Amino acid sequence: MTDMKEMPPLQPDGAPEKKGAVKRNASFPLSAKTLLAAGAFVGAVVIGMSLYGNLGFSIFPHQTDNLTESQRQERLEAFNAIGIIHLAIVPEKDREKAIESMQLSSEARASLQVDLGKTPALAPQTTGGQSASQAPLSPQPAGNQSSAKAGSADAEQPGPALAPAKARQMQLAWITLWDSDVEDGDMVRIDSEGYSRTVYLRNKPVTFAVPVPANGIISVTGIRDGDGGGITVGLGSGAVKAILPIMSVGQVLPLRVGVF
């Protein structure tokens, strides 16, 4: 009896089918389904982006600042009640770290380091607007003749002097900025004693150093109102935190600051 061997399956025309052809035909339906599914997903994303760009909405949630007039007024009143914002001075040990945080050019950095290292000169004491060495002689009692020697003694004991002008050495202080509401792309610029920096506001605070202003004023300017609703700014220094009034683009808000 002839041994029976397994015969390959026949094609419709009666010819045996090649194994390679079986594999290709079996894998085709799976590849087609995968491509169709991927195409459907890409199409949905494109349609969603088109709807967002052309009609102003999307299947994804969209956030923006939406404060009521009452909330705006509360923020303004709370800020006005603060008065002077106390700045946290950068200690000597953290000075290099503070300068690094300011993102200065090499020239500006070198200039700042020179200013920070300057020792302020004391102003000479004055009496009546003149220096002590040029102070007038004290008047003598009537009927008493003063000698040159007496006049010399009087010159060595001038009257009460005005307090010398306070010399000021440049200091650095920490400033922290953040978006106090929805992180929607708000931007502000901060100016202090010649230093200027534009900051993109995020919910995560960013901290950097600024020179302490001699006039006691730090200016905050509205640069960009992300998605409308006003620029929402939180500002702090050390443990002090303040929520600023709602700002508009181009508005300049002067902050009274001091060190104690």
Range in 26-35, 38-47, 49-58, 220-229 with the lowest mean pLDDT: 49-58
Q: Quick one: pLDDT at residue 187?
A: 98
Q: Is the pLDDT of residue 38 over 50?
A: yes
Per-residue pLDDT band for 53 (boundaries 50, 70, 90) equals very low
Q: Is the pLDDT of residue 132 over 80?
A: no
Q: Is the pLDDT of residue 202 over 70?
A: yes
Mean pLDDT of 174-193: 96
| Stated length of the chain | 260
Residue whose C-alpha is closest to residue 98's, from 227, 218, 212, 234 = 212
Cβ within 8 Å of residue 137, ≥6 positions away: 151, 154, 155
Mean pLDDT of 88-103: 96
Higher per-residue confidence, 89 vs 9: 89
Q: Is the pLDDT of residue 6 over 80?
A: no
Mean pLDDT of 47-76: 61
Q: Is the pLDDT of residue 99 over 50?
A: yes
pLDDT tens digits, one per residue of 136-156: 433 444 444 444 444 444 444
Q: Quick one: pLDDT at residue 60?
A: 40
Kindly report the pTM of this predicted structure: 0.60
Average pLDDT, rounded, for the chain: 74
Q: Is the pLDDT of residue 207 over 80?
A: yes
The span from the CA of 246 to the CA of 221, in Å, is: 12
Give me the amino acid identity at 246: I
Mean pLDDT of 239-255: 95
SS (H, E, C) the chain: CCCCCCCCCECCCCCECCHHHHHHHHHHHHHHHHHHHHHHHHHHHHHHHHHHHHHCCCCCCCCCCCCCHHHHHHHHHHHHHHCCEECEECCHHHHHHHHHHCCCCHHHHHHHHHHHHCCCCCCCCEECCEEHHHCCCCCCCCCCCCCHHHHHHHHCCCCCCECCCCCCCCCEEEEEEEECCCCCCCEEEEEECCEEEEEECCCCCEEEEEECCCCCEEEEEEEECCCCCCECEEEEECCEEEECCCECCCCEEEEEEECC
Per-residue pLDDT band for 67 (boundaries 50, 70, 90) equals confident
Using a pLDDT cut of 90, give the percent of the chain over it.
48
Per-domain residue ranges for the chain? 8-62, 69-117+171-258
Q: Is the pLDDT of residue 228 over 60?
A: yes
